[in-house]
Amino acid sequence: MSGHGPLSGVKVIEIQGLGPTPFAAMWLADMGADVVRIERPNLKPLIPQKVDVLNRGRGFVALDLKSGGDRDVARDLINSADMLIEGMRPGVMERLGLGPGDFPDNPKLVYGRMTGWGQSGPLAQSAGHDINYIAITGALHAIGGTHPVPPLNLIGDFGGGAMYLVSGMLAALHGAERSGKGQVVDAAISDGTAHLMAMIYSMYGSGIWADEREANLLDGGAPFYTTYQCACGGHMSVGALEAKFYAEFVDRIGLSGADLPAQMDVSGWPKLRAAFAARFLEKSRDGWAALLDGTDACCAPVLSLAEAASHPHNQARGSFTQIAEVTQPSAAPQLSDTPGSARAGEEPEPQSVEEVLVRWGVR
């Protein structure tokens, strides 16, 4: 099921997993790769859904990797692939005879390994989830109010996990094209999340970031970088950091900078917050959006999941699409010459292994 994006012709085997593993495979499929997922036969989904968006753009074959015959078939598929994605605990694929060293006939294979803690280290064999992985990086500590708040699983599973796996695999694929030799990509969510925190650690190391929540420019501490409740109960986001944008924000909401504390005077932030909060309560969210949209005041309405796809900007850019009557994000980022696309393909029945091997030119 190869697409027409920049990765058209790239063959990928995905060992079925959860969260970041299918997300990475979805992204590769969106960009045109021919991705085939290996699923255990008759496996019931952990969370039944009308459509599993993370499985779009590709089909699957049903193989029991604990069965010798099915394992041999899986080996044939992997020997024919450019890349493999797996999210097992360290050592599991090796015990199945499907580890990185088991494919000498496919020296260019890029072997992507997605775990929470990585392939090594004292926690490598421990169970965990997104919230645990980001907890040891400083990221979870920095987010929230009186207590840390998990940022959905965006920072860990998908940001620090899947997208680092994808970028590492694409770098390794580029290297294999030049050297003829593939390599293992050890993508740990804890590593990726720590890497995402580079700017925050830079500010912390420079003495301009307090190691506490809601006390800094970007964590809700600044009254000009936070959200405010409106008369309707909805919220507006404010991100007026730069002086010229802050000045426009203050002017457009009808306040006078001369009557307020200086923007960067931290001691005056409580007074600023109170003034902004009182003003936002005078109009509905949509009323403020109508006043501030398209200006340099750096404000935007906080939309619900039900509302986001209908926003004019998202509609103009095609940020969302609908497949099988389910609204979902479109492929991203947008490429000028060989754009990716969100494609249907979550098939209810497994593909024929022979069909895949023929499509891949193996038989």
Considering only CA atoms, which of 360, 328, 359 is closest in space to residue 342? 328
- The residue annotated as part of the active site, out of 34, 82, 130, 157, is 157
336-357 confidence digits (pLDDT tens): 999 999 988 766 788 888 889 8
Judge whether 141 counts as a catalytic residue: no
Q: Does the annotation mark 129 as catalytic?
A: yes
pLDDT greater than 70 at residue 246: yes
- CA 77 to CA 36: how far, in whole Å? 9
Displacement of CA 327 from its chain's centroid (Å): 17
Q: What is the band of 43 on the pLDDT scale with cuts at 50, 70, 90?
A: confident
28-42, 80-94, 164-178, 333-347: least confidently modelled range: 333-347
pLDDT tens-place string over residues 164-194: 999 999 999 999 999 999 999 999 999 999 9
DSSP 8-state assignment for residue 258: G
Provide the pLDDT confidence category of residue 60 given band limits of 50, 70 and 90: very high
**Whether residue 44 has pLDDT greater than 90:** no
Model confidence at 2, pLDDT cuts 50, 70, 90, reads: low
CA–CA separation, 66 and 71 (whole Å): 7
Q: Are strands 225-229 and 235-239 parallel, antiparallel or unpaired?
A: antiparallel
Pick the catalytic residue: 76, 102, 129, 235? 129
User: By the 8 A CB rule, do 114 and 192 touch?
Assistant: no
Q: Are 232 and 286 in contact (CB under 8 A)?
A: yes
Report the predicted TM-score, pTM, of the whole model to 2 decimal places: 0.94
139 Cβ contact list (under 8 Å, min separation 6): 155, 156, 193, 194, 196, 197
Residue 1 has pLDDT above 70, yes or no: no
Examine the pLDDT at 112 and tell me if it is beyond 90.
yes
pLDDT digits (tens, 9 = 90+) for 253-276: 999 989 999 999 999 999 999 999
- Distance CA(27)–CA(23), nearest Å, equals 6
**Helix residue ranges per DSSP H, 80-162:** 92-95, 130-135
Percent of the chain with pLDDT over 70: 98
Structural tokens at position 131 = 């919230």
Beta bridge partners of 36: 13, 59
Q: What is the pLDDT of residue 346?
A: 61
Q: Which of 112, 64, 113 is nearest to 89 (CA)?
A: 113
pLDDT bracket for residue 4 (50, 70, 90): confident
pLDDT digits (tens, 9 = 90+) for 63-74: 999 988 999 999
The average confidence (pLDDT) of the chain is 95
